[in-house]
Amino acid sequence: MKRKNLMSYGLILAGIALTVWIWSRVSGSGLEPPVNRYQVAVVVSDSTNSRWARFQAGIEKAADDYNISLNYLVTSRFESLKEEMNLITRASAGADGLIVQMEDSSGIDDLISEISRTTVLELIGTGETFAQEEQSCAGIFADDHAIGVSLAEVILNNHEGESGLRIGILSGNQNMDMMQKRLEAFENTLKEHGITPVWVIPDISGSLSESSPKVDIVVALDNMNLEQACLDLRNSQDTELYGIGCSDMTIYYLDRGTISAMIVPDDFQMGYLAVMEVFNRLQAPNIPMVSREVSFEVIDRGNLYSAKHETMLFPIIR
């Protein structure tokens, strides 16, 4: 047989052998492509608090849908920006994506720029300001201005025609951009109706009745203050409580009537979309990240058990 023929037959046999080998490899692994699971870390303050339950349900569902390995860091409440920055820096090591709630919006630009060069960064609640689409950074947030306005309007509607309303505000952490917006919008709306808060304090130290002048209405602009106010005012008959919250406790006191009305951002949606956005960025690094806005609901005792609010407030089946 000629050398050329021998080479031809050799090549054909090699082709057959290669095909069979590839097949044996492929069939042995069940034809499943290699799983490339992205690692995404989540850093929020006081992560075990039930206020994050809906948010956590959202990120877990999304992680399941997008086959993402989730590292939900167990944290206590951040005492300082430095502590949080250290934690974020550690969490970003080895992670493909990072979902972060910033407790302090000031002086973190450099940190965001640095992390977003190597890690896809999604900012919770404060994203609108820090979203830098040319980098791997975007935000997901509720419209805090609209939340502040809505909360004021609920109070004004419930007390339509009344004058001389005395309102005290628990403004929460005003280092946070979102909290600043809520307070500003809330106060401005009240001002438009001639109402000026009797007091504005960041949080309750000790007992509310002891530390602050008596008011008709207490308004808590964050979940933590709202929970504290619930405990202080649960037996009060002459002070109404309004606020922004989302924990089981605040829902319970809304159900009991301690809270007259509460604004609840859709935390499930926020968590889900945060993971989805990180995944999309990791899949398509050339497509700019988009900051997203989630909805919120004004809930009172009358509509707490509506089908729409039930699924929003109680996403977890017990």
Partner 1 sequence: MNRLKRTDGGQPLSINATILLSFTLIAAAAILITGFALFSQFAARSRQMMTESAERLTERTVVSLEDYLTDMRQLSDAMYYDVIKEHDFRDETVDTEMNMFYESGKSRIVSLALFSLTGDLVSAAPGAMIKQGLDVTKESWYSRAFAEVENLHFSLPHVQNLFDDPNYRYYWVISLSRAVRITVNGVPRNGVLLVDMNYSTIVQMLDDINAGNSTGQYMYLTDSDGTIIYHPKQMQINAGILDENNQAVRDYDDGVTEEVFNGESRVVIIDTVSYTGWKLVSVIPSSSFSLNVSQMRWFVIMVVIVMFLAIIMVNRGVASSISGPVRTLDEAVRKASDTNPITNESFEKGSLEIMHLGQTLQNYQRRNNELMKDIVREQEEKRKTELDALQSQINPHFLYNTLDSIVWMIESGHSQEAVHMITQLANIFRISLSKGNTIIPIEDELKHARNYMNIQQVRFPNAFQVKFDTDPELDRYCTVKLVLQPLLENAIYYGVKNMDEDGMIIVRDWKDENDIYISVEDNGFGMPKEEVEHLLLEDRSKARHHGSGVGLYNVHKRIQLWFGERYGLRIESEPDVGTIVIICFPAIPYSEETRRLLEEGGKETRS
Nearest distance from C-beta of residue 274 to partner 1, angstroms = 12
> What's at 191, amino acid-wise?
K
The DSSP annotation for 234-257 comes to TT-SS-EEEEE--SHHHHHHHHHT
Residue owning tokens 């968590």: 271
Least spacing, CB of residue 314 vs partner 1, in Å: 5
Nearer to partner 1, 22 or 93 (CB): 22
Closest separation between CB of residue 171 and partner 1, Å? Answer: 25
Judged by beta carbon, residue 60 or residue 184, the one nearer partner 1 is 60
Q: What is the CA radius of gyration of the chain?
A: 26
120: enclosing H helix or E strand: strand 120-124
Report the residue number, 18 or 93, with the smaller CB distance to partner 1.
18
Q: Which residues bind partner 1 (CB under 8 A)?
A: 5, 8-9, 12-13, 15-16, 19-20, 22-23, 26-27, 30-31, 50, 57-58, 61, 65, 248-249, 251-252, 255-257, 266, 268-269, 272-273, 276, 305, 307, 310-315, 317-318
Distance in Å, CB of 315 to partner 1, minimum? 5
Rounded to the nearest whole angstrom, what is the least distance from the CB of residue 288 to partner 1 in the complex? Answer: 21
CB of 286 to partner 1, least distance (A): 24
Task: CB nearer to partner 1: give 283 or 311.
Answer: 311
Q: Please enumerate in sequence order all residues whose Cβ is within 8 A of that of 161, keeping only pairs 6 or more positions apart, or say none.
A: none
Pick 9 or 117: Cβ nearer partner 1: 9
Q: For residue 122, what are the β-bridge partners?
A: 99, 138
CB of 284 to partner 1, least distance (A): 19
Which residues have C-beta within 8 Å of that of residue 222, sequence separation ≥ 6? Answer: 170, 172, 173, 179, 243, 244, 245
Structural contact between residues 69 and 42, judged by C-beta atoms closer than 8 angstroms:
no
Tokens matching residue 300: 């009172």
For residues 65 and 109, which CB has a smaller minimum distance to partner 1 in the complex?
65
- Which spans in 29-80 are helix H? 53-65
Q: Which is closer to partner 1, CB of 184 or CB of 297?
A: 297
Distances (CA, A) of 166 to 20, 57, 211, 227, 257: 83, 38, 16, 21, 20
**Least spacing, CB of residue 273 vs partner 1, in Å:** 7
Q: For residues 127 and 271, which CB has a smaller minimum distance to partner 1 in the complex? A: 271
For residue 117, give the amino acid letter: R
Nearer Cβ to partner 1 (203/255) = 255
Cite the DSSP H helix spans in the chain: 3-28, 53-65, 81-92, 109-118, 127-130, 144-158, 177-192, 208-211, 223-233, 248-256, 267-283, 307-313
Q: How far is the CB of 226 from partner 1 (least distance, A)?
A: 13
Which residues, listed in sequence order, are joined to residue 265 by a DSSP beta bridge? 296
CA angle 182, 188, 194 (to 5 degrees): 140
